[in-house]
Chains A and B, each alone.
Chain A
Amino acid sequence: MSAGQPGEAGAGSIAIQVEGLRKSFGAVPVLNGIDLTVASHEVVCLIGASGSGKSTLLRCLNLLEPISAGRISLWGHDVTAPGVDENLVRRSIGIVFQSYNLFPHMTVLRNITLAPVRAAGVPRAQAEEEARALLDRFGLASRENEYPDRLSGGQQQRVAIVRALAMKPQVMLLDEVTSALDPELVAEVLDLIRELAAGGMTMLIATHEMGFARDIANRVCFLEEGLIIEDAPPAELFTAPRDERTQRFLRRIIAAGRL
């Protein structure tokens, strides 16, 4: 990521390019050659059964997992090459996890300002001002001095998203961010993500919420056994899936009443 901040890339330029990505945990292959391209301002949803590799793919993109083979480029910069400053890469890619992973010993405000202050060197006063603006925007203004365990799951997850946004990432990776939530709390988190999409955020979203994926995604990728089986606009993938494996998956989802 030497050639300046990548954020200025215009619409249509390639934000993420994944080529032949493989990842094994020991002898267990999880990703078996993923090829994926995400353009700037595009929202791509990853669907597929648990264990199909969605989460691992997102974690690899954030460099949380070392990859076994292949290449990941962000705005044309190979971030899997040796000598890349992974901390710098991660600052431009936010990731939000299923289990929120807020820091329990810090207030909401400290959770959000920690990385801007300690990783990006933003002065604390400025970081707090920006954090308050974000909290305000997402209806969490009154929560800045709370500790995470005093918040509902939906609030915690929204704080986790704000925490990632505070680093002003160019891409957001969302890893089943509503899967741990009570059903009545899902909507508030999905609304926030819709707002981000409307604002032009480039996003790669692993989700089990098929209806949401159909609404929000420009493209939907169906994963099975560590491969992207089908990659199509939602209207196409959900109504006329071409691959037999996608059809089978969607039949099970429909049978379960999830679509």
Chain B
Amino acid sequence: MAGSGPPSANTFLASGRGPRLLSGGGGRRAAAVSTVSTVVVLAALVAGFLLAPGSAEVRHTFFSPHNMWQSFVGNPSKGYYSVGEALWLNVRMFLVAEVFILIFALVLALIRQSTSPVLFPFRVLALVYVDFFRGVPVLLVVLAIGFGVPALRLPFVSAQSTAVYGTVALIITYSAYVSEVYRAGLNSVHRSQTAAARSLGLSQFATLRFVVLPQAVRNILPPLLNDFISLQKDTALVGVLGAIEANEAAQIYSSTVFNYSSYTVAALLFLLLTIPLARFTDRLIDRDRQRRLAGAAT
């Protein structure tokens, strides 16, 4: 818009970026432009892939429909497991870990936020804990728990399955991450909210439960979801202990049949889990905002 005078109407029409991914701004022309642009970019990517010198081999090794199907359904008599079925283990590990992480991380965050002098040693412990497990690679924790605890030969504790050790390792590690997210959330609620609640005679616990936490959790939903998407993916690390989860099943397939398409299947299945979770949280955030803006709706 160099020069003088008002901008032409077209300047606004073609301004392309709407609030949502697909609505893409106003006007038929903008829609046409975005369609053409999408087709061109996709075509270029596909062409680049198909025209690469090693394209045929890659397509066979990674995208062979036959191998993808075989690894998906599995065939124990031929020595490999179903990647699809193995994914169920990832889902279970994720769900169990998530519940424990949400609770344990909150406890850690609350201890770190506490001010009582009695809790000082616990604050130090929580700080050391968070520093330590945020700094150590998840894989090392999985290995340490998965191989270390059974080696202790304790009754019961040392007699669990590899999936249990893996899940415990994930809980230990992710609680450290998530406690920091919680802490950010707790800090995001202004102190005057606590003052208002306490001044009405609400106990410290009731203030936390009904006033501070609901607001904190709303504020941290996106980063919390981010950590849980990471957690879903990191359940694949438990495979190193020998648990037959999706990634491990894919590896067994590839080393039995010498085709990597099983990994592609595992990747697609993980996407199938994580994408709905991402959309779901978007919806939650959206609904919360709309409800507050709309006012009358309980």
A residues adjacent to B (C-beta < 8 A): 59, 62, 64, 87-88, 90-91, 94-95, 97, 99, 101-105, 107, 114-115, 118-120, 145-147, 149-150, 160, 163-164, 167
Across the interface, name the chain A residue whose C-beta is closest to B199.
A95
Contacts A105-B214, A150-B295; A87 near B201 (Cβ below 8 A): yes
User: Nearest-CB distance from A138 to chain B (Å)?
Assistant: 18
Which residues of chain B in 198-219 are interfacial with respect to chain A, using CB atoms and an 8 Å cutoff? 198-203, 206, 210-211, 214-215, 218
Q: Does B118 contact A (CB under 8 A)?
A: no
Interface residues on B, range: 20 to 34
Question: For the complex, what is the distance from the CA of A149 to the CA of B298, rounded to whole Å?
Answer: 15
Question: For the complex, what is the distance from the CA of A160 to the CA of B210, rounded to whole Å?
Answer: 17
Q: Does B196 contact A (CB under 8 A)?
A: yes
Known contacts A147-B292, A164-B200; 13 additional CB pairs below 8 A are A87-B201, A91-B200, A91-B201, A95-B199, A99-B192, A101-B196, A103-B196, A105-B292, A114-B210, A145-B296, A145-B298, A160-B196, A163-B200
Are A103 and B193 within 8 A (Cβ)? yes
User: Nearest-CB distance from B279 to chain A (Å)?
Assistant: 23
Contacts A105-B215, A147-B295; A119 near B201 (Cβ below 8 A): yes
Question: For the complex, what is the distance from the CA of A105 to the CA of B217, rounded to whole Å?
Answer: 11
Are B298 and A107 within 8 A (Cβ)? yes
Q: Does B297 contact A (CB under 8 A)?
A: yes
B residues adjacent to A (C-beta < 8 A): 192-193, 195-203, 206, 210-211, 214-215, 218, 291-293, 295-298
Secondary structure at chain B's binding surface: helix, strand, loop or mixed?
helix
Are A97 and B298 within 8 A (Cβ)? no
User: Nearest-CB distance from A190 to chain B (Å)?
Assistant: 21
Q: Supply 6 A–B pairs (Cβ within 8 Å), ascending by A.
A: A87-B203, A101-B193, A104-B292, A105-B214, A105-B215, A145-B296
Are A64 and B201 within 8 A (Cβ)? no
Q: Which of A101, A118, A147, A150 contacts B195 (CB 8 A)?
A: A101
User: Nearest-CB distance from A91 to chain B (Å)?
Assistant: 4
User: Nearest-CB distance from A45 to chain B (Å)?
Assistant: 20
Are B298 and A119 within 8 A (Cβ)? no
Question: For the complex, what is the distance from the CA of A39 to the CA of B55, rounded to whole Å?
Answer: 90
Question: For the complex, what is the distance from the CA of A105 to the CA of B288, rounded to whole Å?
Answer: 9
Contacts A101-B195, A101-B196, A103-B193; A145 near B201 (Cβ below 8 A): no
Question: For the complex, what is the distance from the CA of A62 to the CA of B211, rounded to whole Å?
Answer: 19
User: Nearest-CB distance from B201 to chain A (Å)?
Assistant: 4
* Chain B residues, Cβ within 8 Å of A101: 192-193, 195-196
* Chain B residues, Cβ within 8 Å of A95: 199
Q: Which of A62, A90, A105, A118 contacts B218 (CB 8 A)?
A: A105
Are A90 and B200 within 8 A (Cβ)? yes
Q: Which of B200, B215, B293 contacts A115 (CB 8 A)?
A: B200
Question: For the complex, what is the distance from the CA of A90 to the CA of B206, rounded to whole Å?
Answer: 14
Across the interface, name the chain B residue whose C-beta is closest to A148.
B292
Are B296 and A146 within 8 A (Cβ)? yes
Contacts A107-B298, A145-B296, A149-B292; A167 near B201 (Cβ below 8 A): yes
Across the interface, name the chain A residue whose C-beta is closest to B295.
A150
Across the interface, name the chain A residue whose C-beta is closest to B296.
A145
User: Nearest-CB distance from A141 to chain B (Å)?
Assistant: 13
Q: Which of A59, A90, A99, A118 contacts B210 (CB 8 A)?
A: A118
User: Nearest-CB distance from A214 to chain B (Å)?
Assistant: 28
Are A104 and B200 within 8 A (Cβ)? no
Question: For the complex, what is the distance from the CA of A11 to the CA of B197, rounded to whole Å?
Answer: 30
Question: For the complex, what is the distance from the CA of A167 to the CA of B199, rounded to whole Å?
Answer: 11
Question: For the complex, what is the distance from the CA of A59 to the CA of B193, rounded to whole Å?
Answer: 14
* Chain B residues, Cβ within 8 Å of A62: 199
Are A119 and B214 within 8 A (Cβ)? no
Are B203 and A119 within 8 A (Cβ)? yes
Question: For the complex, what is the distance from the CA of A95 to the CA of B201, rounded to whole Å?
Answer: 11
* Chain B residues, Cβ within 8 Å of A88: 201
Are A145 and B210 within 8 A (Cβ)? no
Are B297 and A145 within 8 A (Cβ)? yes
Are B218 and A167 within 8 A (Cβ)? no
